[in-house]
Amino acid sequence: MSDILWARWTIVPTAAPEPQLHCRHCGTVRNFASSGKFRLNSNGKKLDAWLIYKCVVCSDTWNRPLLERHPVGVLDPAFLDALQRNDLDLADRIAFDVAGLRRRAQRVEEFGGVRVTKTALAPLPANPGAIVIELSVPAAPGLRLDRLLAQETGFARSRIRALLKEGALRVEPEGVRAMRKPVRDGTRVVISGVWIDRSCIAD
């Protein structure tokens, strides 16, 4: 339909999740943040690898296991090279993998801060009747969908709930249940029948 605004929101968290661990130096539970550095240990043809985290208060360290007695010969050479170079992009990808982090730490603090880049996917119609927003989420933040929509559309969360009830706001594929969950890649939000600020479409 020609009266639909199509947009993609690319959502990038601004702070990696931090495990909450007992700090030996502080003597209490502290947040630990990724240092962006790897530790490697080779034993013959086997390799151990860790991402080094530091206590945010005293810089005591915790090594997040990545590889344990892994055969070097079957590793992707580019991955091995990135480990050896302390490649920051690789360190960031691992640090933002909250699901993997939860397998290593029982408590993890996630931060809701995000950077949202908006891109129009089609020419903007003169009198839009609806907006379709596709979410691209390379690394999942701890930000709920309802809070993201309130933050980026200017609608109060009570207004968002009312739009959901009226059927003027739809979420695909999970429906209403998605609103209280962290934003997910591939989610589509459809808003119709209300005034829409064009700042929701493109930066």
- Could you list the mean pLDDT of each consecutive 10-residue stretch along the chain, which spans 203 residues? 80 92 96 97 92 96 96 94 96 90 91 88 73 88 88 88 92 89 91 73 68
Residue 70 pLDDT: 95
SS3 category, 132? strand
Q: Which of 109, 137, 170 is the last residue of a domain?
A: 109
Residue 203 pLDDT: 65
Q: Which of 87, 109, 131 is the last residue of a domain?
A: 109
Examine the domain organization and report whether 116 and 143 are in the same domain. Answer: yes
118 phi-psi bin (left φ>0, alpha ψ -120 to 50, beta other):
beta
Residue 157 pLDDT: 87
Examine the domain organization and report whether 80 and 105 are in the same domain. Answer: yes
Examine the domain organization and report whether 27 and 101 are in the same domain. Answer: yes
Examine the domain organization and report whether 25 and 95 are in the same domain. Answer: yes
Examine the domain organization and report whether 59 and 129 are in the same domain. Answer: no
Q: Which of 109, 139, 158 is the last residue of a domain?
A: 109
Q: Please tell me the distance from the alpha carbon of residue 180 to that of residue 8, in angstroms, as a whole number.
A: 21
Examine the domain organization and report whether 36 and 104 are in the same domain. Answer: yes
Examine the domain organization and report whether 65 and 127 are in the same domain. Answer: no
Contact 128, 3 (CB under 8 A): yes
Residue 2 pLDDT: 58
Residue 1 pLDDT: 46
Count of the separate structural domains present in the chain? 2
Examine the domain organization and report whether 61 and 94 are in the same domain. Answer: yes
Number of neighbours of residue 26 by Cβ within 10 angstroms: 13
Q: Please tell me the distance from the alpha carbon of residue 16 to that of residue 110, in angstroms, as a whole number.
A: 7
Strand segments, DSSP code E, in the chain are 4-13, 18-23, 28-43, 46-55, 61-71, 108-109, 114-120, 130-136, 169-172, 188-192
Distances in Å between the alpha carbon of 149 and those of 23, 44, 111, 154, 200?
A: 37, 52, 17, 8, 10
Domain of 122, in residue numbers: 4-14+112-200
191 DSSP β-pair partners: 131, 169
Number of neighbours of residue 30 by Cβ within 10 angstroms: 21
Examine the domain organization and report whether 94 and 154 are in the same domain. Answer: no
pTM for the full model?
0.70
